[in-house]
Amino acid sequence: MSHFLLMMLYATLVSLFFALLWRRAARARLRLFLQLFLGMMLGGILLAWLMYPFPSGPPTPIP
């Protein structure tokens, strides 16, 4: 599985859990679910975009 699909799965499960835990009305649950889900997805994409210019892995040795 790709990292994006795993992030979507995680965001879905966590958002569903907290929406069911914190709200009683169906409309309020749906609204909270969408807010949490979109916040986690957009936050993850934004963080990945901000980290993109930085090199990954160990630095190359100087000959």
Per-residue pLDDT of 2-41, as tens digits, reads 999 999 999 999 999 999 999 999 999 999 999 999 999 9
DSSP-based helix, strand, coil % in the chain, nearest 5: 75, 0, 25
What is the band of 61 on the pLDDT scale with cuts at 50, 70, 90?
A: confident
CA nearest neighbour of 36 among 51, 7, 15: 15
20/60: higher pLDDT? 20
Task: Name the residue type at position 10.
Answer: Y
Predicted model pTM: 0.82
